[in-house]
Amino acid sequence: MLNARLQRQLGQGAEVIATLLVIFFVMFPLVWIGLASLKNPVDVYSTRVFFQATLDNYSAIFGPRIRLQSNIFISALVAFLTVAITVPVGAAAAYVLSRHRFRGRESLSLLILITQFVPAVVVAIPYFVLFRSLGMIDTPIALVIVYLSFTLPYAIWMLRGFFDALPVEVEEASFIDGCNELQTLRYVTVPLVMPGILVSAVFAFISAWNEFFFALILTRSNTVTLPISIMNITGVRGPQWEQLSAAGMVVMIPILVMSLFIRKYFVEGITVGAVK
């Protein structure tokens, strides 16, 4: 009797310890980068947890040498433009694919689903040549154009799921009340799928903000986005970890906040309807 109770308590204890290990595994790299961003150049080369905190690294990355604010501006501009095109265009297409009945609807949806798997290198080679001949390398527009190649198919497929989940009866009622299709869309359908629209906007923003491959190929010195600028924070001794960490925090925090906002849809968003 006592043995069984002891066993159960031990089991529960082991579970709690394992859960704490999970928390450690998930959060520690983020915490460590956060701590490193507050360390001075000496402490960063140690594993000290207690140290004299400083904000020097933050003033350094916004200082005259690194000027991260200009990279923030470029990244934000590219991400906003990408979202501003992706979301309305994607929502309009998703609505049609969800609601209209016409020949070729299913093959069109399938085609859009498949375009998500096209490797970025296939897109990069012709666009590199094209932008080179047009003198568009190192411009924000070039980045926005190639980013649409992955944000748009993804957003359409995700938003179609949101439209599909909305019962047709709502629109039926609006038609009976005498609204035409455009009015119904504007006053009934779009307001009802607003959560989906916001989720797809956040996903498009995050993927543009984090993008590295195209940015590496298509930027030189004028439109350096944040992921590229982080790579360039190096000194004579190699990467300057304390400044790199501070820049990392600046890049990460907006994204972590955004993912908190769409927490409920996060898993669905990534698998785009794969897991029901």
Q: Does 227 bind another protein (CB under 8 A)?
A: yes
Task: Return the SS3 of 236.
Answer: coil
Burial 185-205 (b: 16+ CB within 10 A, else e): beebbbebbeebbebbbbbbb
State the burial class of residue 62 (Cβ atoms within 10 Å of its Cβ: 0-12, 13-18, 19+).
Answer: middle
Q: Does 172 bind another protein (CB under 8 A)?
A: yes
Q: What's the closest the beta carbon of residue 127 comes to another protein, in angstroms?
A: 6
Q: Does 33 bind another protein (CB under 8 A)?
A: yes
Q: Does 95 bind another protein (CB under 8 A)?
A: yes
Q: Does 19 bind another protein (CB under 8 A)?
A: yes
Q: What's the closest the beta carbon of residue 265 comes to another protein, in angstroms?
A: 11
- Reading phi first (left if > 0) and then psi (alpha if -120 to 50, else beta), residue 92 is in alpha
Helix (H) or strand (E) run with residue 238 in it: strand 238-239
* Number of residues binding to another protein, judged by CB under 8 A: 97
Q: What's the closest the beta carbon of residue 171 comes to another protein, in angstroms?
A: 6
Q: What's the closest the beta carbon of residue 47 comes to another protein, in angstroms?
A: 5
User: 64 vs 68, which CB is nearer to another protein?
Assistant: 68
Q: What's the closest the beta carbon of residue 196 comes to another protein, in angstroms?
A: 16
Residues in the chain: 276
Q: Does 42 bind another protein (CB under 8 A)?
A: no
Report how far apart, in Å, the C-alpha atoms of 195 and of each of 65, 143, 171, 191 are.
41, 27, 18, 9
Q: What's the closest the beta carbon of residue 206 comes to another protein, in angstroms?
A: 6
Could you tell me which stretch among 53-61, 64-72, 76-84, 105-113 binds another protein (CB under 8 A)? 105-113
Pick one of 29, 63, 195, 235: the residue that binds another protein (CB under 8 A).
29
Q: What's the rounded Cα separation, in Å, for the pair 195 and 269?
A: 12
Pick one of 133, 135, 221, 237: the residue that binds another protein (CB under 8 A).
133
Q: What's the rounded Cα separation, in Å, for the pair 272 and 196?
A: 11
Q: How far is Cα of residue 22 from the mean position of the Cα atoms in its chain?
A: 24
Pick one of 10, 53, 168, 194: the residue that binds another protein (CB under 8 A).
168
Could you tell me which stretch among 53-61, 62-70, 134-142, 170-178 binds another protein (CB under 8 A)? 170-178
Write out the binding residues for another protein, residues 51-80 only, by CB under 8 A: none
Torsion of the alpha carbons at 105, 95, 164 and 150, rounded to the nearest 10: 80
Q: What's the rounded Cα separation, in Å, for the pair 116 and 10?
A: 48
User: 19 vs 40, which CB is nearer to another protein?
Assistant: 19
Could you tell me which stretch among 58-66, 94-102, 135-143, 190-198 binds another protein (CB under 8 A)? 94-102
Asked if 159 and 197 count as a contact pair (C-beta separation under 8 A), the reply is yes
